[in-house]
Amino acid sequence: MDTTHLTKFYKKNHDDKIDSLFLAGVISKKEKDRLLDRTLELDPETGSHMIENYIGNYSMPLGVAMNYMIDKEELVVPMAIEEPSVIAASSFAAKIIGSAGGFKTTVIHRMMIGQVTLKNVPDIEEATNNVAEAKQEILSRANEAYPSIVKRGGGAKNLDVRLLEDDTDSGIPSYLSVHIHVDTQEAMGANIVNTMMEGIAPYIEELTGGTALLRILTNYATECLATSKCVIPAHKLKTQDFSGEEVRDRIIEATQVATIDPYRAVTHNKGIMNGVDAVVLASGNDWRAIEAGVHAYASRSGQYRSLTSWSKNEAGDLVGELTLPLPVGTVGGSISFHPAAKLAHSIMGHPKAHKLERVIVSVGLAQNFAAVRALVTEGIQKGHMGLHARSLAISAGAKGDHVQQVADILKHSKHKNLQRAKNILLNILEEFEK
Ligand code: MEV
Give per-residue pLDDT as tens, 37-84.
888 889 999 999 999 999 999 999 999 999 999 999 999 999 999 999
pLDDT tens digits, one per residue of 221-265: 999 999 999 999 999 999 999 999 999 999 999 999 999 999 999
**Residue 286: active-site member:** yes
**Residue 422: active-site member:** no
Q: How far apart are CA 363 and CA 358, in angstroms?
A: 9
Q: Is the pLDDT of residue 331 over 80?
A: yes
413 alpha carbon – ligand 1 mean position (Å):
24
367 alpha carbon – ligand 1 mean position (Å):
9
What's residue 268's pLDDT? 98
For the residues of 318-343, what is the DSSP string, one character each? EEEEEEEE----SBSTTTTT-HHHHH
**Of these residues, 384, 408, 411, 422, which one is catalytic?**
384
Is any atom of ligand 1 closer than 6 Å to the C-beta of 336?
no
What's residue 108's pLDDT? 85
Q: Do 230 and 319 contact (CB within 8 A), yes or no?
A: yes
Domains of the chain in start order, with CATH, are 66-108+224-378 (3.90.770.10), 111-218 (3.30.70.420), 383-433 (1.10.8)
**Of these residues, 270, 295, 312, 411, which one is catalytic?**
270
Query: Which atom of ligand 1 lies at the shortest distance from residue 254's CA?
Result: 9
Q: How far apart are CA 363 and CA 61, in angstroms?
A: 18
- As a whole number, mean pLDDT of residues 336-357 equals 96
Pocket test for ligand 1, best of 251, 257, 263, 270 (most atoms within 8 A of CB): 270
User: What is the β-pairing status of strands 308-312 and 211-218?
Assistant: unpaired
CA 382 to chain centre: 25
Is any atom of ligand 1 closer than 6 Å to the C-beta of 129?
no
Is any atom of ligand 1 closer than 6 Å to the C-beta of 307?
no
**Residue 270: active-site member:** yes
**Of these residues, 31, 183, 186, 286, which one is catalytic?**
286
Helix, strand counts (H, E) of the chain: 16, 10
pLDDT tens digits, one per residue of 184-213: 999 999 999 999 999 999 999 999 999 999
**Residue 151: active-site member:** no
* Average pLDDT taken over every residue of the chain: 95
271 alpha carbon – ligand 1 mean position (Å):
4
The b/e string for 392-413 (b: 16+ C-beta within 10 A; e otherwise) is: bbeebebeeebbebbbebbeee
Residue 167 is given by DSSP the state B
